[in-house]
């Protein structure tokens, strides 16, 4: 078993652990009363939990190739692992950029006018903030680490990891 396979397995474990941490959180303050909410990967939408499952599958492939015994995997296993982990990176980034943006959802001029009620000034009594949580960052780091380890494994395997030239579309 190569060290790079352990990196993929470790990335899968890290992604699984990060799936239970906060992937997105928001905080609302109204008149000094603050409420906040957070969601983990399993509640943050398809792009979050699917990426975790992709990384767990990549780690599972690396684990089976190490301890599989009689189970034989194709020689292109590093290529499959690379595809899974690269797709995980893409889905995490897409999930990150599609999280709701509170600054565009709030009507800031209207909130400013609410703060000026005659002689009664509420000032900055209203506030909304949101953003990615630690789970998303750890999941993204795990996906990038698995992708890099898969690329390095693929490069060290040489041409044996690539499908034969022209296969399966060429005729004998």
pLDDT in tens, 69-127: 555 666 678 888 999 999 999 999 999 998 887 655 454 454 444 444 444 445 566 77
Average pLDDT of the residues of the chain: 80
Domain ranges of the chain: 27-158
Look at residue 101 in the predicted model and tell me its pLDDT: 72
Look at residue 104 in the predicted model and tell me its pLDDT: 52
Name which residue leads in pLDDT, 20 or 128. Answer: 20
Beta pairing class for 126-132 and 33-39? unpaired
Look at residue 107 in the predicted model and tell me its pLDDT: 46
Look at residue 33 in the predicted model and tell me its pLDDT: 82
Q: Is the pLDDT of residue 136 over 90?
A: yes
pTM more than 0.85 = no
Exposed/middle/buried for residue 77 (C-beta within 10 Å: 0-12, 13-18, 19+): buried
Q: Is the pLDDT of residue 160 over 70?
A: no
Residues comprising the chain, all counted: 172
Q: Which of 55-69, 140-154, 156-170 has the highest mean pLDDT?
A: 140-154
Look at residue 114 in the predicted model and tell me its pLDDT: 46
Look at residue 74 in the predicted model and tell me its pLDDT: 65
Q: Is the pLDDT of residue 170 over 60?
A: no
For residues 136-165, give the mean pLDDT.
83
Q: Are 127 and 28 in contact (CB under 8 A)?
A: yes
User: CA 20, 42, 51, 100 torsion: positive or negative?
Assistant: negative
């Amino acid at each position: 078993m190569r060290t790079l396979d352990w990196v993929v397995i470790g990335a899968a474990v890290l992604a699984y652990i990060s799936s239970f941490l906060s992937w997105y959180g928001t905080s609302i303050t109204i008149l000094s009363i603050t409420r906040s909410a957070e969601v983990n990967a399993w509640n943050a939408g398809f792009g979050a939990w699917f990426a975790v499952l992709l990384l767990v599958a990549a780690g599972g492939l690396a684990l089976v190739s190490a301890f599989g015994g009689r189970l034989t995997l194709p020689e292109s296993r590093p290529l499959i692992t690379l595809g899974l982990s690269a797709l995980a990176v893409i889905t995490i980034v897409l999930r990150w950029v599609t999280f709701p943006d509170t600054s565009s959802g709030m009507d800031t001029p209207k909130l400013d006018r609410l703060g000026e009620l005659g002689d009664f000034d509420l000032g900055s009594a209203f506030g909304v903030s949101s953003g990615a949580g630690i789970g998303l960052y750890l999941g993204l780091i795990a996906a990038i680490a698995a992708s890099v380890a898969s690329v390095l494994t693929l490069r060290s395997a040489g041409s044996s990891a690539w499908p034969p030239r022209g296969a399966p579309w060429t005729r004998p």
